[in-house]
Chains A and B, each alone.
Chain A
Amino acid sequence: MNEQNRRFLVVGAVGLVVVFALVWSALGQMEGFWVSGSALGAWFAAFLTLSILSFLYDDNPFYRFAESLFIGVSAGYWMVQGIWQQLVPNMLGRLAPDFVNEHLAQVPLEVEGIDKSMALVQLVLGCLLLWRLAPKGTWIARWPLAVIVGWAAGTNLTRYLVSDFTKQVSPALIPLVEPSQTAFLGIDWIGTLTALVTVFGLLAALIYFFFSVEHKGFLGQVSRGGIWILMITFGAAFGYTVMGRIALLVGRMEFLFVDWLQLIGP
């Protein structure tokens, strides 16, 4: 099937769904887009959902339209959130608190004892960052970038040392044999197996990441065990990712068949 026929097929399929929905709403089985603002919104959302899903067959104009719209809308969304959540209260609110309180702030900001100097520095650094869009002298944007990089490097060094190193090593320093009063030979066998896998699994996986020595002989065997432990970790992560995506897909199907077409009762 050539590209033109494929396009006709996709356009025809989407058109068929729209015609079905129009007839279905005319019969009073679902809300037509003309009924209310929220109904119009639901129709538009359904159109966008179907447009994105149409990519499962092939690339087509509907998908490209939805994709382009997504890029624009998400850029606008995050820009607006950044302005109202950060720039207005944390910078403008310090530079002109009375103006912000009178015209912009949802929750009144504190006016007394505000240090304006830091807000001025932020404004200057922000403007320097935006200078990146100018045709000349874009190197000046490196100064605010240096603040961001320096802050992230200084903070992450100690933060990750605590959360990803010390707090991960200490739970692995545990007794290898779990005693039990009632179990066979006075040992809790499941607990012991758990402790052994916890300690030696971590060691084996760490040895796999240790590239200063060639993985041969005993070290090679341990490293191979480390790969198995890592494969279980990746398998679990993969399983959860698939489940998360399927949950999203179920959500979209629920929207189409329950909320929009109302073919299935809630």
Chain B
Amino acid sequence: MRRQIPLLITFVVGVIMLFEAFIPHPPFDQLNESLSITFDVLAAFAFVLGGGNLAKIHLAKISRSQPGWGYSAVTMAGFFAMLAIGLFKVGGPSGVKHALEAEGSWFQAAYDYCFLPLSATTFSLLAFFVASASYRAFRAKNREATVLLIAALIILLGRTLVGAALTETLPGSLELLFGALLAYLAWEQFRSKRWIPLALIGTVAAFVLARTLYGYLILAGGGDFYLLTVPDLVNWIMVVPQLAGQRAIMIGICLGIISMSLRLILGVERSYLGSDTD
């Protein structure tokens, strides 16, 4: 009974939700609406459960005077203060019929002067840690890591003013870089004596470099001799190769979700029930 009934509930609710997608008519559409509201309500109860669990753990720590109990007291003070001013809607218009975010409400003040600075600063700290961790992790150790770094660098340049300014003041700079990269790859092919790739890459490199040098030397930088700007390149990366990779990831995730959903509905996956000792 402890395991069979939950499995039955999961099966029934899952099948109803599946049916609703294919038969959007009564009673399935009404059941879908009711179950969706039930899900939202249970999610709210889960917040209450989370708060209760937090209080249970930290109050036990305080009552036993365990190491760090002072910080638990701070946590509990913040928790109960937020709860009290939110539930009783302290401050603002009289009564509790006004919005939580009403002018002068303490809940809004607690959000503005406590919750917002804490969350924004905590997440902004990640800027430093992401930078240092990525330096250690992706130090261009191999070609794949180099591709990742170059893509990130181009995105960072292109989505800020620096990228636009770079190709405005130095038109054709991207073509020169691209040509130099191709020339390096052609040199690698020459050293490995791979003549067909050398011919292909070498031709493209020569074309790109010759076209850009023609723009600089003959047209003296005038005319639209350049093909690429950093913002255009970023747009192309975002819409073409980046999207192709993202689509592959999304398709993979989707297949995983479908298989996991079927396992849950059919009762094959039971880990969410926990152990029998509960």
- In the bound complex, do residue A68 and residue B252 qualify as a contact, i.e. CB atoms below 8 Å apart? no
Name the B residues within 8 Å of A56 (CB-CB): 125, 128
- How many residues on B have C-beta within 8 angstroms of the other chain's C-beta atoms? 129
- In the bound complex, do residue A249 and residue B10 qualify as a contact, i.e. CB atoms below 8 Å apart? no
Q: Does A153 contact B (CB under 8 A)?
A: yes
- In the bound complex, do residue B258 and residue A157 qualify as a contact, i.e. CB atoms below 8 Å apart? yes
- In the bound complex, do residue A151 and residue B13 qualify as a contact, i.e. CB atoms below 8 Å apart? yes
Interface residues in A129-176 by Cβ distance below 8 A to B read 129-130, 132-133, 138-139, 142-158, 160-161, 163-165, 168-169, 171-172
Taken residue by residue from 3 to 30, chain B's Cβ proximity to chain A (1 for < 8 Å, 0 otherwise) reads as: 1011101111111111011100000000
- In the bound complex, do residue A198 and residue B9 qualify as a contact, i.e. CB atoms below 8 Å apart? no
Complex Cα–Cα for A4 and B110 (A)? 33
- In the bound complex, do residue B120 and residue A251 qualify as a contact, i.e. CB atoms below 8 Å apart? yes
- In the bound complex, do residue B71 and residue A252 qualify as a contact, i.e. CB atoms below 8 Å apart? no
Query: A139-B2, A197-B244 known; A86 and B40 CB under 8 Å?
Result: yes
Q: Does A14 contact B (CB under 8 A)?
A: no
Stretch at the interface among A18-26, A77-85, A180-188: A77-85
Complex Cα–Cα for A103 and B96 (A)? 7
- In the bound complex, do residue A75 and residue B51 qualify as a contact, i.e. CB atoms below 8 Å apart? yes
Q: Does A29 contact B (CB under 8 A)?
A: no
- In the bound complex, do residue A149 and residue B264 qualify as a contact, i.e. CB atoms below 8 Å apart? yes
- In the bound complex, do residue A160 and residue B127 qualify as a contact, i.e. CB atoms below 8 Å apart? no
CB within 8 Å of B: which residues of A? Answer: 37, 41-42, 44-46, 48-49, 52-53, 55-56, 64-87, 90-91, 103-106, 118, 121-122, 125-126, 129-130, 132-133, 138-139, 142-158, 160-161, 163-165, 168-169, 171-172, 194, 197-198, 201-202, 205-206, 208-209, 226-236, 238-243, 245-246, 248-249, 251-252, 255
Q: List 9 A-B contacts (CB under 8 A).
A: A72-B54, A72-B80, A90-B40, A106-B99, A142-B2, A142-B3, A206-B248, A239-B155, A248-B120
